[in-house]
Structure 1
Amino acid sequence: MTTQRLAVRGLEHEFRAAGGAVPALARIDLTIEPGEFVTLAGPSGCGKSTLLRLLAGLLRPSTGTITLGDNPITGPGAERGVVFQRPALYPWLTVRDNVAVGLKLRGVGRDERRETADRHLATVGLTDAADRKPYELSGGMQQRAQIARVLAGDPDIVLMDEPFGALDALTRERLQAELLALWRRTGKTIVFITHSVDEAVYLGSRVLVMSPRPGRIVFDESARFLRDGQPVPTDEVRTLPEFTALAARVRDAISER
């Protein structure tokens, strides 16, 4: 579990196009504390994925800074793992070898790679699929394999770009519950992009909303639901009046901009 704060200060970003600069993000100031599960919602094209790629170090900001603890983020780093919308698994490798590929590149020995991969496959419920190829798996299973691969690298921060967006409703709900359980076990910091208001409120310990392009943070609220000082069980959260009320405020924040 990381003890380092992720901080964004005065962040702006634009893309160069034939007709000139296209602004993607307006001034963003944001602090993400260690162990938070931050969900980020907003209309299509508002810059959610751009912000995530900046946090990952896959893009450099036009203006402003991003730091992890005292260190500026200037590129990708092992302390940040990214789960993309599509699994992007290597079709010629087994599921186990896909999960272990990053460890192999870092020079980790075969036995340790196998033990680490198998442990994380068990975490996401894919033990029985370890020796299969990605094309033999359903979409939901492939996405779980991608999550296992990111976790095998033991990043402090997991950045997730609509990882459940293309899944059927039942698979999506099951993976949401699994992700929440994993977050509670590991204490990792998670930043999760979604178009779904329900998903944002259900998963996040904190919900952010971005405005249409150029994106700005226009809503920032806690989504911790407690009863007698204790977290409400996951299977009861969606039945709470507080859940419905927060979801309504998130929808209003998206539609009003």
Structure 2
Amino acid sequence: MPLNSRTIRVETLSRVEGEGALHIHTQDGRLAEVQLEIYEPPRLFEAFLRGRPLEEVPDITARICGICPVAYQMTAVHALEAALGVRISPEIRRLRRLLYCGEWIESHALHMHLLHAPDFLGYESGIAMAADHPHEVNRGLRLKKHGNQLLEVLGGRAIHPINVAVGGFYRAPRREELAALIPDFEWGLQAAIDTTRWVAELKCPDFERAYDMVALVHPDEYAFNEGRVVSTTGRDVPVTEYEQIYEEVHVPHSTSLHSHTL
């Protein structure tokens, strides 16, 4: 390897939801290539869902991830309802959105306080960071706990929920179950605001790059359960046309699929 070329290999990324490695290659003191390697084996859910009763699909797809099961579960149930022509009631829609919020609360609280913050603040782990920042770590753990509680009430359990069904839920939450969560989420609202202010003060390096950024967009709300696929380059299509403008491909260094514009 030439003297002016250098490769940095981080073979195990410990603060991600999953298993991965990072390879960074520089040439003449400039960044030449970065490869994020996801080396978890493929889960092959598409194959072993074939022939299963449709009632099993939401529960099976929830097993794809223990931290973000609702994302996979909602995707599956939406696809089944679209195929069957099932329309859900506004009440079911609101409860599903609330279920999804529970996942976002617990997942994002974990990420910000225990996975991301140690890197920004120079600690080897969240445990080490807790010695100097006990308030922030405890806040993150409590936020995650309350997100999990919401998943338990609406989803049946915090990890791999089992209450989502085609057309609705197997069991509706009781009023008193939801009311019992109100005091904790009143605290959680202020805790989320405090977290946002704290994260905004973290020092980030200046970095700009031209991306074709793609997101789900809804005209009336922050989209994560429904919407259209919109990009910064002007694309705006329904979710059903995603595969007509983007292609998912395998790359040699990772089991994770990469999306490319067709």
TM over 0.5: no
Larger strand percent: 1
TM-score, scaled relative to structure 2: 0.29
Higher relative contact order (CA 8 A, sep 6+): 1
Larger helix percent: 2
- Whose radius of gyration is greater, 1 or 2? 2
